[in-house]
Structure 1
Amino acid sequence: MAISEIKNLKHLAYRLSTTHCIINGKIYELDKVEQLGCNKFSLQSKLALPLKLYKYFPNICNIENINYSIESLKNNTVYLQTPNNFDDVYDSDIHMDYSEYERYRLIEYCERSNIEIDENLSTHKIGDLFVQALLKIYLETKDFSNIFTKDNLTEIEELSNKLFVLKITKQLEKTDDLTKAVQAVIQSNFEEYSSQLKNTFRVSCFTTNPYSQLMWAGYANCHKGFCVEYTILPNDKRYEKIYLNLFPMIYCKVRPNMAKQLAHFEDKDVTEDIIWNIYFHGALRKSLDWAYQNEWRLLMPMGRQTSDYNKEFFPITKVFLGNRMDYKTRKEIIEICNSKNIPYIGVTRKLGTFEMEECKVKCEDCYKFKR
């Protein structure tokens, strides 16, 4: 193959990686997925949802000496975590450039103050106009809240205005520079909003393959843990809420800057468009590097009580025991499975290939298990 042909293939591969994505093992055009919106994406997802999902457990105790893996097996529950604790630093993190966010928030504040501006002006100039108006209204009324004169604001926008005034007042206790105070408030809002977007939902992760070496190594304590099989029951009313909140991950290369859209959404009532932006650009979007996981996610709104984070899931129909699980642990898991009438089997290495498979010998009949 000529060097020019190789270069063309590399260029094509790169272009495809920036315009396409992988969902549930299939390739789709990223733009067409985005155009689906929340409801259509959810519907198509349910049509492709496998009848079996799997979750890997490390089977180790935390610092409080609690083994949540065992708890999940005994109680048929899954724990919903905050994405901040996941191993992907990008997980659920929507790309929002601060400089653009600052610009659009200043424009928003100017609009609420009925300050006419040319949106082609620089961010610095827009900021100057807003600060000048703030200073003028304060000198006249001794009250920053009088800056916001636009009518027909929503309740959320009104509360946002009051919070802005409180923060400005607080910042001016630290500095007598009004420009710096406004900048500090916007930066504070950016950090709070970014955290809020990332933690709108708590998450539990599943996959479609109980034999992934990478998953066993990364999520099941280097093959010493176990993997649980759940059988999906689409028509069972007991699991309706769980079923409706299961979604496949969207694996792609690009992270578009969402500053303009998110700055506009910040003080608005939650709509389907807002939820879809959080889903499509955050909670369900990961790098192509993770596509091997073929992950499905249970997304549930952040609750106020810790107990809300432990959810009953679909029935456990099988447990896979890790290839490196020691005798004592294997015996403990088997006893739990027997008490729950759950089938179980060991996972072993395939002969001749670098793959894992279900062991053909029951653990109790295996010479490695007998003592």
Structure 2
Amino acid sequence: MDLSELIMHIQQLTPQLAFTCCVVNGSIMTLKEIEDMGYEEFCYRSRINIPLKLYKYFPDKEVFDKMGNKVNYSNIALKNNTVYMQEPRLFDDIYDSDINIDFYQYQKYRLMEYCRRCGLVIDDGKSTEEIGTELLKIIIKSIENNNDFSHIFSTEGASQIESLTNEIFKNKIIVGLENNKDIGQVVFKIMEQEYQDYVKELKNTFRISCFATTPFSQLMWGGAYANCHHGFCIEYTVLPNDKKYKDIFYSLFPMVYCKTRPNITKKLVSWKDRDKTEEYLWDIYFNGTLRKSIDWVFQNEWRLLMPFKKKNDNDYNVEFFPITKVYLGNRMERERRKEIMDFCNDSNIPYVGVMKNSDVYEMQECSLKCEECFKYKSSQN
């Protein structure tokens, strides 16, 4: 069953099944199956099912860099055998890597957490307003008893991160009260800023590079990915046993395409000031970075996920598996086609043109060498 058939099959399922199923690497599974795997098993299955060939589509056009200079990043990727690790917020899918974390729930559970640190255990059944009131009472009482803010929290933080967060919280209250004497409003603004910062942190935990499993996707060729057939597609051969690519190999994962977005606000709040473990990583992977709408299932995407601490823009270009073929877009200009062909010949990289199939709406590999194609020859005149 190909991807188009899979999409039709998913659409024909009953609503209940449609909300519980997903597509992973071309296979229909239940979301519970994936969730129950956990991080280790999902990683293991990803390794044994990874395609031996991965493909990346490039628009092959010049854009302006931050300095205002024209740069063809596609050309750089081809010549340097590198892939760029992009920020998820710049992808075309507005949901990409966007973990569903509700502000009002965040506010409630975060206020409960601060109450706990003040030595006050709060019932989950209380409203956000009631929890906030209890926290304000204990903060105000601590200030009145000690004439300062240093004793708001009754115990040392459970971790270095928690202790630091406690200090930040106290300092923000002090600064906030300089401009607003209403401590309730000050705490609300702290919650609001914490939420915005946390959402940003979650979305930018990883940088991403995306790969397809076929060089003949008409939707990929026809859109921005390959500049409406004017660009090219690079084939990479995966080398599982080559130590040089060990980090790359173990950082590749298939996307989980589904219809539902889980709300894991309570769990994420509990993780906020703790050391990050594999369990946390799995939550970020399964519920964010590797989860996309079923609408994108045609891409059958694999992702390279890598955390980066930026030094300069070049740090986000990483060497990938060897380039073993280049597919030239059907509408690529002759002059540009020749430039890429010359580079491939000099680098001993096979290349081929991509053409329309005369029987079905699919792209296919051209049987002729580009140099022998009548279109290429006639454009020389």
Matched, 1:112 2:113: no
The AA in structure 2 aligned to 1:22 is V
Secondary structure in 2 matching 1:43? helix
Matched, 1:194 2:195: no
Unaligned runs of 5+ in 2: 1-9
Structure 2 counterparts to residues 205-284 of structure 1, below 5 A: 205-218=210-223, 219-284=225-290
Moved over 2 A (4+): 9-13, 116-119, 139-145
C-alpha distance in 2 between matches for 1:19 and 1:197? 25
Which range is displaced more, 288-297 or 304-313? 304-313
Matched, 1:363 2:364: no
> Which residue number in structure 2 is paired with residue 164 of structure 1?
169
Change over 3 Å in CA distance of 1:326–1:152 after alignment to 2: closer
C-alpha distance in 2 between matches for 1:117 and 1:46? 44
Percent of aligned pairs with the same residue? 50
Question: Deviation digits for residues 42-88 of structure 1, max 9, x if unmatched?
Answer: 10011110100000000011213111100010010000001011000
Choose from 351, 360, 376 the match for 1:344. 351
C-alpha distance in 2 between matches for 1:83 and 1:231? 25
> Which residue number in structure 2 is paired with residue 21 of structure 1?
22
Task: Check the 8 A contact 2:108/2:128 in 1, yes or no.
Answer: yes
Task: Check the 8 A contact 2:157/2:163 in 1, yes or no.
Answer: no
> Which residue number in structure 2 is paired with residue 31 of structure 1?
32
Cα drift, residue 291 of structure 1: 0.4
Choose from 338, 341, 354 the match for 2:361. 354
The AA in structure 1 aligned to 2:222 is A
Secondary structure in 2 matching 1:73? helix
Cα drift, residue 304 of structure 1: 2.2
C-alpha distance in 2 between matches for 1:11 and 1:120? 40
C-alpha distance in 1 between matches for 2:157 and 2:143? 23
Task: Check the 8 A contact 2:157/2:166 in 1, yes or no.
Answer: no
The AA in structure 2 aligned to 1:355 is E
Secondary structure in 1 matching 2:229? coil
Task: Check the 8 A contact 1:247/1:298 in 2, yes or no.
Answer: yes
- Count of equivalent residues: 363
> Which residue number in structure 1 is paired with residue 63 of structure 2?
62
Cα drift, residue 151 of structure 1: 4.1
Task: Check the 8 A contact 2:238/2:321 in 1, yes or no.
Answer: yes
The AA in structure 2 aligned to 1:322 is G
Choose from 124, 131, 144 the match for 2:136. 131
> Which residue number in structure 1 is paired with residue 4 of structure 2?
none
Task: Check the 8 A contact 1:303/1:309 in 2, yes or no.
Answer: no
Cα drift, residue 133 of structure 1: 1.2
Cα drift, residue 90 of structure 1: 0.4
Task: Check the 8 A contact 1:145/1:161 in 2, yes or no.
Answer: no
> Which residue number in structure 2 is paired with residue 4 of structure 1?
none
Matched, 1:99 2:104: yes
Question: Deviation digits for residues 262-314 of structure 1, max 9, x if unmatched?
Answer: 00000000101100000000000000000000000000012222332100000
C-alpha distance in 1 between matches for 2:11 and 2:159? 51
Secondary structure in 1 matching 2:56? strand
Unaligned runs of 5+ in 1: 1-8
Secondary structure in 2 matching 1:78? strand
> Which residue number in structure 2 is paired with residue 329 of structure 1?
336
Choose from 72, 78, 87 the match for 1:82. 87
> Which residue number in structure 1 is paired with residue 7 of structure 2?
none
Matched, 1:319 2:320: no
C-alpha distance in 2 between matches for 1:318 and 1:39? 33
> Which residue number in structure 2 is paired with residue 303 of structure 1?
309
Question: Deviation digits for residues 128-173 of structure 1, max 9, x if unmatched?
Answer: 0101111121222232231111246211100010111122222222
Secondary structure in 2 matching 1:146? coil
Cα drift, residue 121 of structure 1: 1.2
C-alpha distance in 1 between matches for 2:91 and 2:281? 21
Change over 3 Å in CA distance of 1:171–1:151 after alignment to 2: closer
Task: Check the 8 A contact 2:57/2:226 in 1, yes or no.
Answer: yes
Cα drift, residue 40 of structure 1: 0.7
Task: Check the 8 A contact 1:203/1:298 in 2, yes or no.
Answer: yes
Which range is displaced more, 298-307 or 101-110? 298-307
The AA in structure 2 aligned to 1:279 is Y
C-alpha distance in 2 between matches for 1:273 and 1:143? 39
- TM-score by length of structure 2 reads 0.93
C-alpha distance in 2 between matches for 1:34 and 1:153? 29
Task: Check the 8 A contact 1:58/1:226 in 2, yes or no.
Answer: yes
The AA in structure 1 aligned to 2:26 is G
